[in-house]
């Protein structure tokens, strides 16, 4: 591939993920990634701050989620608004074309504790984005936090199902929200259970 060809971020992401899977995260350098993509190190740094950012992005997902939850219909309750947000994010970020990349990304992260920690931090940021959007919709702070935490659980379930090839992300998100809603409404949380 020539250096002039378009889609440098996608090429760099694919190259990085392939190298992380082949050599391990620690044994892959930015120079290796750029060379595999047929680009220069400076091109890499125009698109990413470091090699971790290839896997975790620049916060665009949190922004998409925040905007989609905020833009849910006014009649939507907190968890419904979160579901609306998850479906919108699925249409933008979790497309069929990205499924293979996501599955490989999951396996790379699972093999590296440093990356697992970064993934957890990203999850916290996504949960905070949902809570912030809900508060902006007038939802009381504690209710917003609870709905965002349940939404994060549903998002993780949907992501696992989608990246494993089981379903469309929007469909998986709808099912996960329904399952979470049902679990919260069951006697699994009754007062007779020990805390």
Structural domain boundaries of the chain?
8-53, 59-184
- pLDDT tens for 109-154 read 998 888 899 899 999 999 999 999 999 999 999 999 999 999 999 9
What's the confidence (pLDDT) of residue 5?
Answer: 56
Which class does domain 59-184 fall in? mainly alpha
Residue 28 has pLDDT above 60, yes or no: yes
Instruction: For residues 49 and 186, give the distance between their C-alpha atoms in angstroms, rounded to a whole number.
Output: 45
The answer to whether the beta carbons of residues 118 and 49 sit under 8 Å apart is no
Which residues contact residue 111 at a Cβ distance below 8 angstroms, ignoring those fewer than 6 apart? 24, 25
Instruction: For residues 171 and 67, give the distance between their C-alpha atoms in angstroms, rounded to a whole number.
Output: 20
Q: What is the CATH number that goes with domain 8-53?
A: 1.10.10.60
Check: pTM over 0.75? Answer yes or no: yes
Q: If you compute the radius of gyration of the chain from its CA atoms, what whole number of angstroms results?
A: 19
- pLDDT tens for 183-192 read 988 655 555 5
Residue 101 has pLDDT above 90, yes or no: no
Residue 76 has pLDDT above 60, yes or no: yes
What's the confidence (pLDDT) of residue 152?
Answer: 96
- How confident is residue 54, by pLDDT bands cut at 50, 70 and 90? confident
């Amino acid at each position: 591939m020539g250096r002039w060809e378009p889609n440098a971020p996608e090429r760099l992401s694919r190259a990085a993920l392939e190298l992380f899977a082949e050599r391990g995260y620690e044994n892959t350098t930015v120079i290796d990634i750029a060379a595999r993509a047929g680009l220069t190190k400076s091109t890499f740094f125009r698109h990413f701050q470091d090699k971790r950012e290839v896997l975790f992005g620049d916060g665009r997902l949190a922004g998409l989620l925040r905007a989609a939850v905020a833009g849910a219909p006014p009649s939507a309750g907190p968890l419904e608004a979160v579901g609306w947000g998850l479906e919108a994010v699925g249409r933008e970020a979790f497309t069929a074309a990205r499924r293979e990349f996501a599955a490989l990304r999951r396996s790379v992260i699972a093999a590296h504790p440093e990356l697992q920690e970064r993934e957890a931090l990203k999850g916290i940021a996504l949960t905070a984005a949902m809570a912030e959007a809900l508060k902006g919709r007038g939802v009381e702070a504690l209710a917003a936090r609870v709905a965002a935490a349940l939404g994060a659980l549903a998002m993780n379930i949907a992501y696992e199902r989608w990246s494993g090839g089981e379903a469309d992300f929007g469909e998986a998100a709808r099912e996960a929200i329904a399952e979470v809603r049902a679990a919260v409404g069951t006697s699994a949380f009754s007062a007779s259970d020990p805390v």
